[in-house]
Copies of this chain bind each other. A is one copy, B any other.
Amino acid sequence: MKDLQQVSVIGLGLLGGSIALAVSRALSGVRTVGYTHRPSTRSRARKLRVANEVIGDIKAAVRGADIVIVATPISTFEDIFSRIAGALEEGCIVTDVGSTKRMAVRWAGGALPGTVHYVGSHPIAGSEQRGVEFARDDLFDNALCILTTDKNSNSRAVRKLRRFWSALGCSVKIMSPAEHDRIFANVSHVPHVTAAALINATDSEQLRFAGKGFIDTSRIASGPANIWADVLLTNPSNSVRGIDRVIRELSKIRQAIRSADKKRIEKLLETARAKRSQLIKHKMKKKELLP
């Protein structure tokens, strides 16, 4: 990418750190600057050589950047956009990697100057782990990355950001922030809530008998509570509707068990089995899942 000299990453957790590492791997010659407000994270990030430069001054961090990527919890976006606004170069692309997009667009519109271009990003990568020590330069290999755009989006900026994520290994898809938030409530936010509810419903003493099934089913509930509270609170109506759908489906199976209706139970379980089997096939084909 000849039109890219510097990428600045705000927030050096698992995602931010991995972005900086992936840029170094995939886009040699591009300078990476990382910002984090915690001195301890800065020294760990420096030790791990996560970015060319790791600094504690957010304005200095974005100066000269062609792309600024905000990789902090969603609840900090509004404040961060305001703080960097005055230091951004003309034509700079600002994006974030938050798991919900409608609020980010709104905050960007309110805080960023008209001379820069905001486009939302959501790379579907990460894990329940947190912290720069889990950052990996291959986190985005074969990952899906959603860009969210609307009628105000600058199409050159969108194209450039699309090339950027593709260079990092992502397959990129574009949709509106509203569509994004609707879909990801169902495939990500509600599953998180469901995993947490399942654990909360189970007695600690009994949990000792849990097998691999329970361990996997509940894995995502090990994600950081503050990050996920932000996600749910910036996508509340879709999340509530999704939870209601899960409750309805649970009630259907519950009713079939109570009526000892074997055919109906088998049908409900088989529908889920077949649907998941389709999903796995699709993901294998797209190489988003390896055999």
B187 and A209 within 8 A (CB)? yes
Q: How far is the CA of A144 from the CA of B144 in the complex (A)?
A: 38
A213 and B220 within 8 A (CB)? yes
Which chain B positions have C-beta within 8 A of A269? 192, 196, 221, 225, 228-229
Partner of A233, one of B127, B265, B268, B271: B265
Which chain B positions have C-beta within 8 A of A282? 207-208
B242 and A201 within 8 A (CB)? yes
Quickly give the copy total for this chain: 2
* Chain A interface, DSSP helix/strand/loop, else mixed: helix
Minimum CB–CB distance from A142 to chain B (whole Å) comes to: 11
Q: How far is the CA of A283 from the CA of B213 in the complex (A)?
A: 13
A200 and B233 within 8 A (CB)? no
Q: A204-B275, A224-B273 are in contact. List 20 more A-B contacts (CB 8 A).
A: A124-B209, A187-B214, A188-B211, A188-B213, A190-B198, A191-B214, A194-B194, A197-B250, A200-B249, A200-B272, A208-B282, A210-B283, A215-B280, A217-B220, A222-B277, A225-B269, A232-B253, A240-B257, A243-B253, A247-B251
Interface residues of A in 95-151 (CB under 8 A from B): 124-125, 127, 144, 146
Q: Nearest CB to that of A263 among chain B residues? A: B229
Minimum CB–CB distance from A198 to chain B (whole Å) comes to: 5
Kindly state whether residue A153 has any CB partner on chain B within 8 Å: no
- Give the bracket for the number of chain A residues in contact with chain B: 35 or more
Interface residues of A in 262-291 (CB under 8 A from B): 262, 265-273, 275-280, 282-283, 289
Q: Can you show 28 pairs from A to B with CB atoms below 8 A apart? A: A125-B211, A144-B211, A183-B209, A184-B209, A187-B202, A187-B206, A188-B214, A192-B269, A194-B194, A195-B272, A196-B273, A197-B249, A197-B250, A197-B253, A199-B272, A200-B272, A202-B245, A215-B279, A216-B220, A217-B217, A218-B279, A221-B276, A225-B266, A225-B267, A228-B269, A229-B266, A243-B250, A243-B253
Kindly state whether residue A258 has any CB partner on chain B within 8 Å: yes
B233 and A217 within 8 A (CB)? no
Q: How far is the CA of A258 from the CA of B240 in the complex (A)?
A: 7
Which chain B positions have C-beta within 8 A of A195? 217, 272
Kindly state whether residue A226 has any CB partner on chain B within 8 Å: yes
Kindly state whether residue A167 has any CB partner on chain B within 8 Å: no
